[in-house]
Structure 1
Amino acid sequence: MTFSHFLFGVYPFIAGTVFLLGSLIRYDREQYTFKADSSQLLEKEKLMRGSRLFHAGVILLFFGHLIGLLTPRPVFLALGVSDLAHQHLAIALGALFGTLGMIGGVILWRRRMFHPRIRAISRFMDIFILDWLLLTLALGLFTIPFSLYHAVLGDATIMVNLAAWAQSIVTWSPRPELLDSVPLAYKLHLFFGLTVFLLFPFTRLVHVLVIPLNYLTRPYQVVRAKFVFYRR
């Protein structure tokens, strides 16, 4: 087995196992740590600006990858979406959402690194995971020129192979050989993306698993003032 075949045939299952078991164990043992540890009280303006852009970009990218890679090819063809049209759509949306996420991420990174109070309360993993996410985004954006080049040539082979590989992973029938001819830029992006799942249980990212939907229907809070009377 070559290193590439291990990386894209075995490593995805290692990352997925750590993601699932690690998240369950952390929730069982440290349920109160399933939160984002907001620092809004220390600085609000940059947090709101960066967080909105970052979350919008990353969430849309996640679902874009999910739909684009895991939807079987015959479904796209049945809907009248050719491989080349699929590639052009992936390039346009990837560039848009990736840029949004990168701008927001850079704002958050500068805030965390250069705001004295935010830096003082930042843990190592807070900085590390933000750096890792930004590198993952940057590598994803770096693949766009390669995709554009192949799209101009009318060749959607790489996109088809990437989708087939992703589908082979989720169906537990890995075919890492599909990525043998894929340029290094894509492989680096895949490795960094897979490693996000490996790191997930050990970071503040776990807060995305606990969506407080009950907030939408919760009653208003009743706040009672406490009066203290002093005797003279």
Structure 2
Amino acid sequence: MNTLHNFLFNVYPYICLSVFFMGSLARFDRDQYTWKSDSSQLLRKGQLRWGSNLFHIGILFLFFGHSVGLLTPHWVYEPFITAGQKQMVAVTAGGIAGAVCFVGLSLLLHRRLFDDRIRLTSHRTDLGILIILWVQLVLGLITLPFSIGHSDGAVMLKLSAWAQGIVTFSPDAAQLVGLDWPYKVHLVLGMTIFLLFPFSRLVHVWSGFGTLAYIVRPYQVVRSRKLGLPAGLNQSPRRES
């Protein structure tokens, strides 16, 4: 068990991150035409609209909440809020976002499983990644009562220390010894999602972040051809989206 524990929380994170980055780069380089979300918006538009909006709102809040909460050193927020108070804020905000995301993802999963037309046009990886995300959300919600039972913030500090150790290449699986099982399974499945990321429709997330580049993109100069147009009718430089 010690060997498995060390592998899962000292070695496995780097395997997942390596595949996540290198696999995404390889897919973009070799299979750009598969770099899409495979939308089926022509079918069951109402359910898709509600499910997609709720899912994306919830998952974005959870992603950035986990990132900031786990990777922010304790000394940054210690003058303003205690570890226990921060954990309760995380439980409350994460619980609301998790519930919103769970409802949205359940609608999307129900739509793909119980509509024959959508199911027949769905790839197995589409269904697989939705099921894995659904299970991950359930596990995350299961951890909430355990977090409330550890209101002193000790669990949050252990998880933060482990996550920051991964980022700084000084992992310490001993930080997670004695942690309740839902946390450990939640962490392992979360890392597995990063492992599967390049081989699923999730790669379109990169495109979402890539659109931020348009904020700093320089103007594109467009000029009309010299076709004998009257003076003053030539197009002026403009920004195109």
Question: Using the alignment, how far apart are the partners of 2:197 and 2:33 within structure 1?
Answer: 16
1:165 to 158, 162, 165: 162
**Aligned with 1:104: secondary structure?**
helix
* TM-score between both structures, scaled by the size of structure 1: 0.89
Query: In the alignment, which residue of structure 2 is the partner of 1:119?
Result: 119
The CA deviation string for residues 73-106 of structure 1, in whole angstroms up to 9 with x for no partner, is: 000103x111011111110011011001100000
Q: How many Å separate the matches in 2 of 1:144 and 1:108? A: 24
The whole-number CA distance in structure 1 between the counterparts of 2:109 and 2:92 is: 25
CA distance in 2, matches of 1:122, 1:25: 23
Distance in 2 (CA, whole Å) between partners of 1:5 and 1:96 is 33
Return the alpha-carbon distance in structure 1 between the equivalents of residues 20 and 7 of structure 2.
18
The residue aligned with 1:106 is 106
| Counterparts of 1:43 and 1:37, CA distance in 2 | 15
1:6-85 equivalences under 5 Å are 6-78=7-79, 80-85=80-85
Out of 178, 183, 189, which is 2:180 matched to?
183
Match of 2:78, SS?
helix
Other-structure match for 1:136 = 136
The amino acid of 2:41's aligned partner reads: Q
- 8 Å CA contact 2:84, 2:154 repeated in 1: no
The one-letter amino acid paired with 2:172 is R
Query: What SS does the corresponding residue of 2:150 show, helix, strand or coil?
Result: helix
- SS for the counterpart of 1:143 is helix
- Percent identical pairs in the alignment equals 47
**Which segment drifts farther, 96-105 or 35-44?**
35-44
Question: Structure 1 CA distance, aligned partners of 2:240 and 2:62?
Answer: 31
Q: CA contact under 8 A between 2:20 and 2:194: conserved in structure 1?
A: yes
TM-score (norm 2): 0.86
Say which structure, 1 or 2, has more relative contact order (CA 8 Å, 6+ apart).
1
CA distance in 2: counterparts of 1:109 and 1:218, whole angstroms = 37
2:115, 2:44 → 1: CA distance? 9
Alignment of 1:89 onto 2:86 = no
Displacement of 1:181 in angstroms is 1.6
Q: CA deviation at 1:57?
A: 0.5
Q: Per-residue deviation at 1:215?
A: 8.1
